[in-house]
Amino acid sequence: MVMLGWKAGPEQYDPVELLSQAVAAEKAGFESINMSDHFHPWDEAGQACYTWSWLGAAAARLNGIEVGTGVTCPILRYNPSIIAQAAATIERLNKGNVYLGVGTGEALNEYPVTGVWPDYRMRQDMMRESIELMRALWTSDTITFDGEYYTAKKAKLYTAPERPIPIYVSSLVPESAFFAGYYGDGLITGANPPEVMHQILKNFEEGARESGKDPWQMPKQVEFFVAWTDDEDAAIDAYKQYWAGTMVFAMYTQNLYTPAMSAANGAIAGRDTIRSHMCISKDPEEHARYAQRFIDAGFNRLSFHSPGPDQYEFIDGYGREVLPLVRERNKPRAEAVA
């Protein structure tokens, strides 16, 4: 069954506005909320509220929609034991399901508050250890953990989750997808050329099988940008203002740690390049076809991210015209799986 979710934008909107959007998204028929976890935004004009406070507020306002992080970095500015506690608390507050999306992070969020930025292999190894520690704590047992990076002595979550919290591991390139399949309960990635996405899924499935899991039963989530408007210039302007840094791969690998650095790197993204990475239209058929390409590739969770120009118009238009179309076209698929 395909799950259709809304990508919240804490790097663009203040937390009060974002909460109103989340309520609207649930009412419109989105089934899941994907919330990123940033200390710095991608641009000086942006916002960066504390994700875990916001998720608690959202859980108190929402009525059963799933919520999760897309993604949090549990290894540098955080101790994974604290992320385990935070996720467990959100699970107890939220009427719907909760998932934890994790990744190795960006210097944009980690370096400003730690002054360190280890190489990728070390960060990946730290994340592997953090996943092990968080899962141990979620059992509600008292645990002692002696890892290479993290230590716990007779630690116990006295407010433990009542339902399992699946961990979805981020993979933006094929080289990290085997790790995501091996250690994760699911995958989170972003839109890439079809051949790259095919290789990400292939490597993810190989990692899952190697660890004894069935990849066909695992969540595979993809985030991508859309704009519900015929004003192409306004949509591209909104993207360039707040999100252009996301298009520069160096932002995920190099020690680029201020919004000004992000904006300077994102400035190289031309309007034609941005246009090619988004579906900008008010034609529900065009949006449904755009979504279907990801479903046909093998993804079973879609996270729609609209940078503008009007978030409520996007939420309403998608809820009224696009989500029903995507669901109807994939009903036979869902029935066959059931």
Q: Which of 11, 31, 91, 106 is catalytic?
A: 106
Angle at 41 between CA 226 and CA 116, to 5 degrees: 130
**Calpha distance 101→308 (Å, rounded):** 24
Q: Counting every residue, how long is the chain?
A: 338
Residues 262/256, Cβ–Cβ less than 8 Å: yes
151-155 and 143-146 strand pairing: antiparallel
Amino acid in the structure at residue 60: A
Q: What is the residue-wise DSSP string for 170-208?
A: E-SSGGGHHHHHHH-SEEEEE---HHHHHHHHHHHHHHH
Q: Which residues lie across from 220 on neighbouring strands?
A: 187
**Calpha distance 75→110 (Å, rounded):** 9
Residue 205 falls in the annotated catalytic set: no
Residue 313 falls in the annotated catalytic set: no
Helix (H, G, I), strand (E, B) or coil at 187: strand
Residues 83/72, Cβ–Cβ less than 8 Å: yes
**Calpha distance 80→68 (Å, rounded):** 16
Q: Which of 31, 38, 66, 110 is catalytic?
A: 38
Torsion of Cα atoms, 98 then 101 then 106 then 112, to 10°: 30
**Calpha distance 222→303 (Å, rounded):** 6
Catalytic residues: 38, 106
